[in-house]
Chain A
Amino acid sequence: MSDKIRLLIVDDEEKFLESIARRLEMRDFDVRTATRGAQAVEIAREEKFDLALLDLKMPGMDGKQVLEILKKEHKYIEVIILTGHGSVDSAVDCTKLGAFGYLPKPYELDKLLDTLQQAYQARIEKKFRVDQERMDKIARLATGSSALSILRELKKIDDEEK
């Protein structure tokens, strides 16, 4: 596993998907792409991703549904919504559902990179915070608990990492 940021991009416009993936790869992202929501959910179950870029309007499962599933199944993933819609309403709905942010299409690449950077930062901080709490807990357990309960806590951490 590399130290690159692992990114999943989901959009039904193949041309768009292909070029954005190329450009982000050139900027040291580890990119996977999906043209359908269901496909994206499948890929995310097989590989781990730090971030996801989701198009909102897609045939079949739309961006909103994918967002809900990803946030449910993956504790630390941060999702950025891409929307061609002029309206902000649906994007706001998405942030309520846990999206990190949204970008209207077309966007400046720098803005996208900034947002990805911030989202990654948020993900790391969140993970760090949780890890910290875990460590504290383990430390507390270590001073007065059985070896079994420490092992149980470590197993939990191991499970969550998957």
Chain B
Amino acid sequence: MAAAKQRPKASAESLPFGAEHYGELRRRQIARMAVTYLAPLIILIVYYQYRYIGFEQDSRRVHLGAIAEHQANTLDLFLTERRVNLANLIDHPRFAVPPSSEEMQEYLSDLRRVSDAFVDLGFFDSSGVQVVYAGPHPSLESRDYRGEDWYVTLQRSADHSVITDVYLGFRQQLHFTIAVSRVMDGQLLVLRATLDPARMYEYIESQQAAGDVITCIVNAGGVYQLVDGQIGHPLDNCPFPVPREQHFGDGTTEIGSASQQYAFRWLRNTDWSLIVQSVAEPHGILGTLQPRSLMVSAGLLLLAVIVIFNRAGKLVAQQKETDQTRAQLEHAAKLASVGELASGIAHEINNPLAIITEESGLLMDYTDPQFGHSLDEKELYQRLDTIQKSAFRCRDITGKLLRFVRRTDFDLQEHDVHDVVDGVVDDLLGPEIEVSNVRLERSYDRLLPKLTTDANQLQQVILNIINNAIDAIGDTPGVITISTSRRGNEILMSIRDTGCGMSPEQLEKVFVPFFTTKEVGKGTGLGLSVSYGIVRGLGGKIEVESTKDVGTTFTLVLPIKQKR
């Protein structure tokens, strides 16, 4: 447990970047994924909600249209029946002209038994005077109706009947008139009944089960004949258009801030249009949305957000791990390359040390009487000089080693790229190349500008590549060619060897940490992966080409100026 707790702390310390860097990385990841995943999801949700609303409106319109048709038919039937009631009366063979008051009273009672919408009944002689009246307004008896609209219309009517709009009339009460006329012995006789619109309205309402609609009736002039108290009053103007030229139709009307759908259908019997509109409480888009689909959408979004946050966290953790591994690898490789270097350098130091011990030992032998040698001053001087030179050789080597390993961060300065390479091939690798089978060739473009780089880090890269080249050449004589050139804002440095080369499979893995083509125990497999990291850090890249048994070319592509 303690160890597990310890580990993250230790790893945090070895991270090359601070918490701020990873916070920023996380934010960027979240933003990126939100755009990638969340935005399409939201667009889809909105799109389908709109589709759903459209679908719902369509089905509602069909529904309203069906109710309108049904109610219009009912109303038509009602009006036809009422007219037929009157026609039957006047056409009855026993209908007396003019009927007596009692007879009229009896007729009215009969009519009211058929429909309670009947209010009164009147008989008019050819002069247009209501000669007999039965009903609650006896004062209307003997009134002259010749100038009334309905009377005028009836006179011209082809089918000898008329159904009026709703009006107040002499009695100052809402009613409408159904009248039928007959010509007998050259006389125009008229039987008229007035009906109570409220009663008719009740009848219509009673015919219809659905409680989610309001029915109203307007005339050809767009004036309410019958209307629910919630939306208007009779004889008011209907606020939305009900075009007469269409037999039926639908539309949308604004009620307050919300839109309301309606459907209308014109009657056959009279110039009335029956309008059905939904009574669902006024609602906007949100109100139209199905709660269940809303919940599903919200759930989906929440899930997406959770996934995004989770994924971003994981990505950042992964990045942290990668950075950490890379930092560790670089450290390990630095140690490893220092180790390789140290073993090479041991040879370079031990040889002069052996000279020192031998020369000094010889001088000691000279002073030993046992050997009986004399020592002349010239020889003494020469031998001491050799000792001193050997000691300086050792100092130079340790100095180079220190210079090589000391750097940790990038120390960017302007360098002549050739000085950097020469530092490797002459100073660091000079002695090794001298005793090897390798011939070194340089093809330098001397006109190259100075390069802003970290000479030590770059030297480590070059050292790694040349060491590999030497190993690839092995025991048979070979050539390493180092050439430099310029390409735009980059300097190219190619290191080509005539060594054993690599197969395409090996080439693919050449920068993979711990991948090595060398014998077990000879290479760490870290050199090139770390070199790659360094060159990337310097803003450049390493390109590599290789042909089996022909050789390998590594090309460092380095930006002339650093962007920092």
Would B343 and A19 count as touching, CB distance under 8 A? no
Q: Which of A10-18, A38-46, A72-80, A137-145 contacts B (4 or more CB under 8 A)?
A: A10-18
B350 touches A59 (CB 8 A): no
Looking at the complex, which of B14-22, B287-295, B355-363 is the stretch in contact with chain A?
A: B355-363
Which residues A13-27 have CB closer than 8 A to chain B? 13, 15-16, 19-20, 22-23, 26
User: Smallest distance from the beta carbon of A98 to chain B beta carbons, Å?
Assistant: 20
Contacts of A58 in B (CB 8 A): 435
Is the CB–CB distance between B348 and A26 below 8 Å?
no
Chain B residues within an 8 Å CB radius of A59 = 434-436
Asked if B342 CB lies within 8 Å of chain A CBs, one says yes
Report the separation of the CA atoms of residues A43 and B237 in the bound assembly, to the nearest whole angstrom.
133
Query: How far, in whole Å, are A84 and B432 apart by their CA atoms in the complex?
Result: 13
Which of A100-108, A124-132, A150-158 lies on the face that meets chain B? A100-108
Minimum Cβ distance to chain B for residue A94 (Å): 15
Q: Are A85 and B343 in contact (CB under 8 A)?
A: yes
B519-555 interface (Cβ within 8 A of A): 521
Q: Which residues of B contact A107 (CB under 8 A)?
A: 354, 357
Given contacts A86-B342, A105-B353, contact A19 B348 (CB under 8 A): no
- Chain A's closest residue to B344 (CB) is A85
Min Cβ gap B337→A in Å is 15
C-alpha spacing A109/B362, complex, angstroms: 10
Alpha-carbon distance between A89 and B520 when the two chains are bound, in angstroms = 13
Asked if B386 and A15 sit within 8 Å, CB to CB, the answer is yes
* B347 at the binding interface (Cβ < 8 Å): yes
Tell whether A105 pairs with B350 under 8 Å between CB atoms, given A12-B435, A23-B365, A59-B435: yes
Within 8 A of B (CB), among A54-99: 57-59, 82-87, 89
* A85 x B357 contact (CB < 8 A): no
B371 contacts the other chain (Cβ, under 8 Å)? Answer: yes
- Of residues 324 to 365 in B, which have CB atoms within 8 Å of A's CB atoms? 342-343, 346-351, 353-359, 361-362, 365
**Residue from B343, B346, B355, B434 in contact with A15 in the complex, judged by beta carbons closer than 8 Å:** B355
Q: Which of B265-304 contact A (CB under 8 A)?
A: none
Whether B346 and A85, one on each chain, are in contact in the complex, defined by CB atoms closer than 8 angstroms, is yes
**Secondary structure dominating the interface of B:** helix
> In the complex, what residues of B have CB within 8 A of residue A109's CB?
357, 361
A84 touches B351 (CB 8 A): yes
Question: How far does the Cβ of A17 sit from chain B's closest Cβ, in whole Å?
Answer: 9
Contact with A16, one of B342, B349, B354, B521 (Cβ below 8 angstroms) = B354
B356:A106 contact, CB within 8 angstroms: yes
- Say yes or no: is B373 at the interface (Cβ < 8 Å to chain A): yes
Residues of B near A83 (CB, < 8 A) are 347
**In the assembly, what is the distance between CA of A57 and CA of B344, in Å?**
11
Q: Are A104 and B355 in contact (CB under 8 A)?
A: no
- The 8 A CB mask of B427-444 against A (1 = contact, 0 = none) is 000000011100000000
Question: A85 contacts which chain B residues (CB < 8 A)?
Answer: 343, 346-347, 350
A26–B373 Cα distance when bound, in Å, is: 9
Distance A23 CA – B358 CA, assembled complex (angstroms) = 8
Point out the residues of chain B lying under 8 angstroms from A84, CB to CB: 346-351, 354
Find out whether the CB atom of A26 lies under 8 angstroms from the CB atom of B365. Answer: yes
Q: List 8 A-B contacts (CB under 8 A).
A: A16-B354, A59-B435, A59-B436, A84-B347, A84-B350, A86-B350, A106-B354, A107-B357
* Other 15 A-B pairs with CB < 8 A, given A26-B373, A85-B347: A13-B354, A15-B355, A15-B359, A19-B383, A23-B365, A59-B436, A84-B350, A86-B342, A86-B343, A86-B346, A105-B351, A105-B353, A106-B350, A106-B356, A109-B361
Which 4 interchain pairs have the tightest Cβ spacing?
Answer: A84-B350, A86-B346, A105-B354, A19-B358
